[in-house]
Amino acid sequence: MLWLFSGSLYCWVMTAAMVSQDGIHKLHRRHWVFYDFSLIYDIYFGAACILAFWRVFYFVQLKRNLGSTVISIVRCAQICFIFLATMLIVMLSFSLGLTTMHQAYKGGTATQEDGSVLRMKDKFSSVLETLRNLYWSFYGYLGPWEYALAVGNAGPDFKPTNHLFIVIASEVTVAIYHLVVVITLLKMMVTLLIWRGDEVQKDEDTEWKYSRSVIYAEYFDWHTALPPPFNIFFIAAVFIRQLAERCHEIILNYKGNGGPYKDVSKQIVVEEVSYQRLLAKLLRRSLLSDEYACRTAQKVDGEKCLEMLGIGADDG
């Protein structure tokens, strides 16, 4: 989201610069080129607005009742992205095959026996066009009449030519595509979504506590001091300040010690050793805590057994 806001800001600045340079403040969009900065700005800013509004779900996770539901949706969305990546590979393979079969008939026309003119559609004219039509056919139906083959007319009677093998191969390929994507992959995705949702609901409390801890931890990060897009200026200021401090340290090391990074290297080693010692200490504490809990549980169980045996002896 930060990169989208940064890109939209850059496009807005470039648009303002171009307008001030050309002196044309009011020009209809039909005269714009497709890579105009204003058009790219609309794309960047529109996507950034979508993600910014989705940020609401990010803070909803802090509530226990709604948080588990949002977490389940997020986990399921990850499965959907994996499914889309798999489907893209499958669609690309089918688009290559269908384009190879139909590319030679691009722009073809044929006069039918009833006098109507059949024009070859551009459904499978190129790989990208084929990929586009195969993707949208996933939500609908790609019938044989959508890609009817227009070869042309030939012979003394000028009858329409019919390449039957190409027609059969095309229909079989599209049928296999629907079988693989719609029936097999779609059912697999539904099964994975159900499995993932059940897994999240099973560990609902743990997942919610972990997500809440991640959100709270992010507030300590320096770049989240301000919400987007205002943190762009904050990040730039921090970057310039860190760069200036780094240059200042290098200059001092050169002047004071005659060599670069000497004190910095020592400080890094000292901090790394301190960090490793801290980790070792925390690990020992964790092991001792587990050992103490285990011994306490054994002691309590032993006392209960002794009490039960003592009660039994008195009764005897």
pLDDT confidence of 152, banded at 50, 70, 90?
low
Mean pLDDT over all residues of the chain? Answer: 77
Q: Return the exposure string of 224-239: e unless at least 16 CB atoms fall within 10 Å of the residue's CB, then b.
A: eeeebbebeeeeeeee
Question: Six-digit token pair at 227?
Answer: 């919400």
CB 150 within 8 A of CB 105: yes
Gap between the Cα atoms of 234 and 36, Å rounded: 29
- Which range has the top average pLDDT, 80-84, 90-94, 172-176, 211-215? 90-94
Sorted by where each begins, the domain ranges of the chain are 1-60, 67-218, 223-260, 265-298
Question: Could you tell me the CA-to-CA distances from 77 to 49, 72, 198, 242 in Å, in that order?
Answer: 19, 9, 14, 37
Among residues 192, 184, 174, 169, which one has the least CA distance to residue 87? 184
Q: Tokens representing 261?
A: 């990074």
- Most trustworthy range by pLDDT among 176-180, 220-224, 249-253: 176-180
Cis peptide leading into residue 144 (ω within 30°):
no
What is the distance of C-alpha 69 from the center of its chain? Answer: 19
pLDDT tens-digit readout, 222-245 = 555 566 666 677 777 778 888 888
Reported as a pLDDT band with limits 50, 70 and 90, residue 35 is: confident
**Residue 41 confidence (pLDDT):** 86
Q: What is the 3-state secondary structure (H, E, C) of 109-142?
A: EEECCCCCEEECCCCCCCHHHHHHHHHHHCCCCC
CA 49 to chain centre: 17
Model pLDDT, residue 174: 79
312 pLDDT more than 60: no
Cα dihedral: 55, 58, 63, 64 (round 10): 150
pLDDT at 155: 66
pLDDT at 44 over 50: yes
In angstroms, rounded to a whole number, what is the distance separating the alpha carbons of residues 78 and 67? 17
In 3D, which of 193, 1, 194, 213 has the Cα closest to residue 83?
A: 193
pLDDT greater than 60 at residue 166: yes
Average pLDDT over residues 274-292: 85
172-176, 223-227, 277-281: least confident range? 223-227
Q: How far apart are CA 196 and CA 202, in angstroms?
A: 10
3-class state of residue 21 by DSSP:
helix
pLDDT tens for each residue of 95-146: 888 888 877 777 777 777 777 777 777 777 788 888 888 888 777 766 666 6
Q: What sign has the CA pseudo-torsion 210, 211, 216, 221?
A: positive
- Looking at per-residue pLDDT, the higher value among 167 and 162 belongs to 167
Q: What is the pLDDT of residues 178-201, one digit of tens each?
A: 888 878 888 888 888 888 777 777
Give the C-alpha separation, 41 to 206, whole Å: 41
Write out pLDDT tens, residues 8-32.
888 888 888 888 887 777 777 777 7
Q: Which residues, at least 6 apart from 124, have a Cβ–Cβ distance to it below 8 Å?
A: 95, 98, 99, 101, 102, 103, 130, 133, 147, 170
Its pTM stands at: 0.52
User: What are the structure tokens assigned to 313, written together?
Assistant: 């002896």
Alpha helices, H only, the chain: 2-22, 37-60, 64-102, 127-137, 164-178, 186-202, 204-218, 231-257, 262-315
Residue with tokens 């992959």: 185
**Cβ–Cβ under 8 Å, residues 211 and 60:** no
